[in-house]
Amino acid sequence: MSEIKDITSRDKDFASWYTDVVKKAGLVDYSSVKGSMIICPYGYAIWENMQKILDQKFKETGHENVQMPMFIPESLLNVEKEHVEGFAPEVAWVTHGGSEKLDERLCVRPTSEVLFCDYYKKIIKSYRDLPKLYNQWCTIVRWEKTTRPFLRSREILWQEGHTMHATEEEAIKETLQMLHVYEDFQRNVLAIPVIVGKKTEKEKFAGAVASYSLEAMMYDGVALQNGTSHYFGNGFAKAFGIEFLDKDNKLQTPYQTSWGVTTRMIGSLIMVHGDDRGLILPPKIAPTKVIIIPIGNDEKVKEVTDTLCKKLKELDISYKVDERDKTPGFKFAEAEVKGYPVRMEIGKRDLENNEITLVRRDTLEKIKVPVQDVADALETLFVDIQNNLYDRALKRRDSMIYEANSWDEFKEIATSKPGFIKANWCGDEACENKIKDEFSMKSRCLIDDEEIHTDCVVCGKKAKYRLYFGRQY
């Protein structure tokens, strides 16, 4: 049990705590490939649930899945210069096939805009061919210098949507629609409160006209960008020569979007909800909602366990029965590390009163429930746990959002308190860079629902925008 329970306190050393949880919960392991991780079955099961739920949402909004090549010829990557310059430091190259040097280097895709554009040029000829609403589930490679499980890895599991539209209005609508699909998923499935907004020109995606992000705050006050949605205008389409005949038989250039999320969301689940006992999973995303632990070899215990398993299966509630030759204490501790939403203890003593014990992972509260009422009690618990995790995360996040109206206020907060800072900004990139250089804080996104009452916190000139600033993973 000590090996399972030996987790560094998150308040003492958050980085070590995070590493302990991902390892001891059985989410990842380290590989012999530098900078790449092995996603273990339990970690991958969480990703599969994310895929399943999001994929259904994508299909409900009219999107289809495709699969593009992994490799991009250098000449194709170079078609859109701004885009390639943005990714150049992270690109991995294939230079040889077997023992022979390739005539042209192949980039291992860091993202797939150019591949989709190359394909769209072939298949878009008329307004009748639009919109094209495609999505891809795949891996990408970005040669990160510093890696951490789920947060930054050289090989990344993700999805990337790439769409083409006849008009600017349709493309902008798509960009915002998918942003809000992500927002709904993060808040209502992952129980993570996110700040949603537009990125500054400096922080937008390479080649985009406008980028929007979902910014989550981790327990330690550091930001994690949990998803992005980009409006590209028709810059890529022009670079690739994509044209279509409109209803008046005139050639037009279509408008493009892209949007994506990654396994980074698993990292945010850990860092937003976890505690010193380990992982805590919201019921809506947990691969196993109930861990059943029979106590003893009593025949009545076995009978009730079998009956409840049958009932859970009928109700499509995912569960596991832990019948290993381990002590109950060991099993309880492991269940807490793995973050199963509800632990069900079935023991002879409780059954003498026709009861079993349910333990909710978020509060560790123990609840005695009549055997015949277990199904109803679980359904209620799942809702309560889901809501409690969101409310708890929201309360903590909001307690670490501060407002600065001058440079001195910004400096005092940035050097003494973790979290986000709301501040007014003139729009000059030099002021944005000064905050980054002095405090290692980047702009997260623009705030568009608050009035601007004071001047830029950096230079004192008239402010044009309000921004969230924060340190990031």
The string of pLDDT tens digits covering residues 21-58 is 999 999 999 999 998 999 999 999 999 999 999 999 99
Sequence-distant (6+) residues with CB within 8 A of 376 are none
Question: Which amino acid is residue 111, in one-letter code?
Answer: T
Above pLDDT 70, what percent of the chain?
A: 99
**111: confidence class by pLDDT, cuts 50, 70, 90:** very high
Q: Give a yes or no: residue 282 inside a domain.
A: no
Average pLDDT over residues 112-128: 97
Last residue of a domain, one of 330, 361, 386: 386
- 71: its two tokens: 């490799």
Q: Give a yes or no: residue 396 inside a domain.
A: no
Q: Give a yes or no: residue 465 inside a domain.
A: yes
Q: What is the pLDDT of residue 302?
A: 96
pTM over 0.85: yes
147 vs 33, 152, 153, 279, CA distance in Å? 12, 5, 5, 21
Residues 328 and 456 in one domain: no
Average pLDDT over residues 118-132: 98
Residues 308 and 414 in one domain: no
Residues 64 and 207 in one domain: yes
Q: What is the pLDDT of residue 322?
A: 97
Residues 415 and 382 in one domain: no
Q: Give a yes or no: residue 395 inside a domain.
A: no
Q: Are strands 194-198 and 210-217 parallel, antiparallel or unpaired?
A: antiparallel
The residue ranking higher by pLDDT, 399 or 83, is 399
Report the CATH number at residue 149: 3.30.930.10
End-to-end Cα distance, the chain: 32
Q: Give a yes or no: residue 281 inside a domain.
A: no
Residues 93 and 23 in one domain: yes
Q: Give a yes or no: residue 115 inside a domain.
A: yes
**What mean pLDDT value characterizes the chain?**
96
Q: What is the pLDDT of residue 4?
A: 58
Last residue of a domain, one of 334, 358, 386: 386
Sequence-distant (6+) residues with CB within 8 A of 253 are 234, 237, 238, 242, 243
What order of strands is seen across the sheet that includes strand 366-370?
319-321, 290-295, 342-347, 355-360, 366-370
Number of domains observed in the structure of the chain? 3
Tell me the Cα Rg of the chain. Answer: 25
Q: What is the pLDDT of residue 378?
A: 98
Residues 53 and 201 in one domain: yes
Q: What is the pLDDT of residue 5?
A: 63
Do residues 292 and 319 lie in contact, with contact meaning Cβ atoms separated by under 8 Å?
Answer: yes
The parent domain of residue 321 ranges over 290-386
Residues 209 and 268 in one domain: yes
Q: What is the pLDDT of residue 197?
A: 97
Report the CATH number at residue 405: 3.30.110.30
* Phi, psi dihedral angles at 319 (to 5 degrees): -150, 165
Residues 20 and 62 in one domain: yes
Residues 88 and 190 in one domain: yes
Q: Give a yes or no: residue 279 inside a domain.
A: no
Last residue of a domain, one of 220, 238, 273: 273
Residues 107 and 187 in one domain: yes
Q: What is the pLDDT of residue 214?
A: 98
The string of pLDDT tens digits covering residues 173-213 is 999 999 999 999 999 999 999 999 999 999 999 899 999 99
Q: What is the pLDDT of residue 81?
A: 74
The string of pLDDT tens digits covering residues 298-318 is 999 999 999 999 999 999 999
Looking at the DSSP bridge assignments, the partners of residue 184 are none
Residues 70 and 187 in one domain: yes
SS (H, E, C) the chain: CHHHHCCCCCCCCHHHHHHHHHHHCCCEEECCCCCCEEECHHHHHHHHHHHHHHHHHHHHCCCEECCCCCEEEHHHHCCCHHHHHHHHHHCEEEEEECCEEEEEEEEECCCCHHHHHHHHHHHCCEHHHCCEEEEEEEEEECCCCCCECCCECCEEEEEEEEEEECCHHHHHHHHHHHHHHHHHHHHHCCCCCEEEEECCCCCCCCCCCEEEEEEEECCCCCEEEEEEEEEEECHHHHHHCCCEECCCCCEECCEEEEEEEECHHHHHHHHHHCECCECCCCCCCCCCCEEEEEECCCHHHHHHHHHHHHHHHHCCCCEEECCCCCCHHHHHHHHHHHCCCEEEEEEHHHHCCCEEEEEECCCCCEEEEEHHHHHHHHHHHHHHHHHHHHHHHHHHHHHCEEEECCHHHHHHHHHHCCCEEEEEECCCHHHHHHHHHHHCCEEEEEECCCCCCCCCCCCCCCCCEEEEEECEC
Q: What is the pLDDT of residue 110?
A: 93
Report the CATH number at residue 377: 3.40.50.800
CA distance 470 to 222: 7
Q: What is the pLDDT of residue 118?
A: 96
Q: Give a yes or no: residue 176 inside a domain.
A: yes
Average pLDDT over residues 119-128: 98
Residues 206 and 179 in one domain: yes
Looking at the DSSP bridge assignments, the partners of residue 207 are none
**86: confidence class by pLDDT, cuts 50, 70, 90:** confident
